[in-house]
Amino acid sequence: MKKLLIAFVFIGGMLGKSLAQQKTTTTPQNTKTEQKTGTQTQKTTKTQPDPKKQQPETKKEEKKEIKKEVKKEINPRIENCNPAGYITDITESLKASGFKFLRSYKLEGVSNKPIQHEYTFSKGTTYTIRVASYLDSRLKVILYDPEGRAIASTYNADSDKFYPSIQIQCNKTGVYKISFEHHFNKRDFCGGAILAFKR
């Protein structure tokens, strides 16, 4: 009987050890699977689209669409505009007038606002501003004195006519503003102008 009891005790001890070993081996596996599932969830969150990153792309697309719309509105002649050609023609006309060339202005591009430049006029000097553009542009030049008052224009409101130049004798030294603008609020500019003087 003692031998049988010893045998049962021995077998019971062996079974207990094996069960303990199984528990220790299974727990790390569970922790490993939990870690794996954790990394998988992290990866899925990384691949999700970020709305903040998508915003710049939509803005770029909107800008491209706006540019396309603007191009459609531009007169085909404006795309092939050659302001230098207009300036050359006007400069040639100065030879017989006694005026000397001062500077030129290229009038091109699309804008709702007038194209404006400034120049210092000297008292006692006669100045002329000459402009050329395509026939139906209705482009006019307005000259403003140092106080901001309009003193000359290539457009005559009484006769509703446009003239290619203006000429004034400066009575006061100062900075004068030269404004190129469309009479009917057009957006496209294509032409050239020059400023000349004589004493």
Confirm if 172 and 145 have CB atoms less than 8 A apart: yes
**Which CATH number applies to 82-198?**
2.60.120.380
Residues 180 and 104: their CA atoms lie apart, in Å, by: 13
**Residue extents of the structural domains in the chain:** 1-48, 82-198
| Nearest partner of 131 among 171, 174, 169, 181, judged by Cα | 181
122-146 residue pLDDT tens: 999 999 999 998 765 678 999 999 9
Confirm if 78 and 190 have CB atoms less than 8 A apart: yes
pLDDT of residue 55: 54
- pLDDT by residue for the chain (199 residues), tens only, comes to 544 444 454 555 555 555 455 544 444 444 444 444 444 444 444 556 555 555 555 655 665 554 444 444 444 455 678 899 999 999 998 888 899 999 999 998 888 789 999 999 999 999 999 999 876 567 899 999 999 999 999 999 999 899 999 999 999 999 999 999 987 766 678 899 999 999 9
pTM assigned to the model: 0.60
